[in-house]
Amino acid sequence: MGENAPKGILTYQCVSTKRTIEACVPTIIHRWCIWHITKKIPSKLNGYKGHIEIEQKMSHVVWNSHTKESFDRNWNDFLLKYGLVDNKWLSDLYEDCHIWVLIYLDHHFCVGMRSTQKSESMYSFFNKFITQNNSLIQFVKQCNNCLGNMEQRERESDAADFHTIIPYAIKSSIEAQFQHLYTHQKFRKVQAQFRGNANCITRLTNSSLGYSVYEVGEQVSSSIFNKFAVTYNSVATQVKCQCLLFESSGILCRHALSVLSFERVTQVSPRYILEQWSKKIKRRYTHIKSSHNKPLLEPKSKRFDELVFHSQNICEFASESVELTTILHRTYDNVMVEMKELKAKRKGTCSLSHEDANLESVNELQKPSKGSNKRTLGSKLDKQIANASNKKKTKVLSEAKVLNLFDAV
C-alpha cells in the first residue's frame, strides 16, 4: 500500500489480534466485527433464566444508544436488571467497547462497514465460480470468468446510471441534486433517508448569529420516539447530526435532511456529495487491457495504451541519471500545463458528442426566438455542428502534439 499503513481495519473479536495490531500499527483505527460478537450472545448467555429477553435487551442497548453517556447508562442498567454484573465475558466486552460499539466508532469514516460477515464480503462473489475442488487450471479459468462477470455487471450498471432515472421519493430539490450526480446504487440509499424524513419532527431549540441547534424527534414505533441534536451553520452551510451517519457512512441522515428542509435549503454544499459515488467518476483501472473487453475497446483506452507504451520507454531512459529525470519532470510539467489550458478553453462550450449531448440542449437550439425564422434556426444549428467538428479536429491535433513531444524526449 505504498509503504503506508491502512487507516482502519475490521477483524473478528480476538484479543491476540488486537494486541498485535496495537503493537505493529498503533495509529490504525481497529474495530471488531459486531456481527461476530452478537453471534456469540446465545452461547454466552443461554445459562441464564430468560436468556432470550436478555439477548434482545443487549442488542437494543448496543444498537439504540446514540451517545456514549447513554450507552454507559443503558449498559449498567442492563447488567443490574438481569444480574449480569459478575459476567466476565460482558465485563471484557465493556472494557473494549471503544472498538465494537457503534457510538464509539461512528465518527470514523468506514463507508458503513461494520461486519466481516461472509455475505457482505468478496467470499460470496467468488464462491459462485471457485470451489476447493478446482484444479489449478480450472482455478485460473474460473478467475478469468469471475473477472469477466464483474466487468459485465459494471458495464450494465454504468449503462443504467446514464440512461435510466430512479423516480423521486419526495420531489425535493436536494433529492434531485443527488439523483443527477450519484449512481443508482448509492442514490437508493440516499432516498431511504429522504423517505425516513417523513417520520421526523423538527424543533428549533437555540439560534444565534447564523448558528442554530435543533431537536429532531424520530418516531421508530407507535410508542417510541428517538431524539437527536442537529446543528446548522447557515454561514458555512454546514449541518451535523448527533447520529453521525454522514461521518461514518458518507450519507446525510434523515434528521439532517429534516433540518435542511426546515431551513428551506435547496442545494447542499459540495462537501456532502462524495466523488467516489458519482456516476461520472473516472475509474483508472478501466484503462487497463482485459481479455473480456477487446471487442469493446474504446478509443480512449487505445490512446491510453499508446501513451503508456511511450511513457515506459521514456521513463526507463530518464531513470539512468538525476539530470535526465529532472528534464523529464520539467517536460511533463510543461505538457500538463498546456493540456490543462486546452481543456479549460473547451470547458463550458457546447459539444454535440454522444457523451454530452442531451435533449434539453437540442430543444434549446430548436426553440424559436422572437422575430426568428426557420432559416435562422437552421443556420444556428449548422454553426453548432461546425464548431463541434472543429473541436474534434483540435483534440486530435493536440493529442498528436503530445505524442510527438514524448517521442522527441
- Residues 51-92 have pLDDT tens digits of 888 888 888 888 888 788 888 999 999 999 888 888 888 998
Q: Report how far residue 302's alpha carbon sits from residue 398's, in angstroms, rounded to the nearest whole number.
A: 16
Q: Residue 122 pLDDT more than 90?
A: no
pTM check: above 0.75 = no
pLDDT classification of 116: cutoffs 50, 70, 90: low
Q: Residue 391 pLDDT more than 90?
A: no
Please check whether residue 208 is in contact with residue 192, taking contact to mean a CB–CB distance below 8 angstroms: no
* pLDDT value of position 293: 55
Q: Residue 372 pLDDT more than 70?
A: no
Q: Report how far residue 77's alpha carbon sits from residue 80's, in angstroms, rounded to the nearest whole number.
A: 5
What is the H or E stretch that residue 215 is in?
Answer: strand 211-219
Q: Report how far residue 307's alpha carbon sits from residue 398's, in angstroms, rounded to the nearest whole number.
A: 13
Written as one string, the DSSP assignment of 118-136 is GGGSTHHHHTTT--TT--H
What is the number of other CB atoms lying within 10 angstroms of the CB of residue 100? 20
Q: Where are the domains of the chain?
A: 8-121, 124-163, 173-277, 298-408
- Residues 314-354 have pLDDT tens digits of 888 888 889 889 998 899 899 989 988 888 888 765 444 44
The stretch 241-258 carries a mean pLDDT of: 89
- Residues 142-194 have pLDDT tens digits of 888 887 777 788 888 888 888 888 888 888 899 999 999 999 989 999 999 99
* pLDDT value of position 3: 66
CA dihedral 69, 71, 73, 78 (to 10 degrees): 180
Q: Residue 119 pLDDT more than 50?
A: no
Q: What's the DSSP call for residue 17?
A: H
Helices 51-63, 68-82: crossing angle, 10 deg rounding: 170
pLDDT classification of 103: cutoffs 50, 70, 90: confident
* pLDDT value of position 163: 83
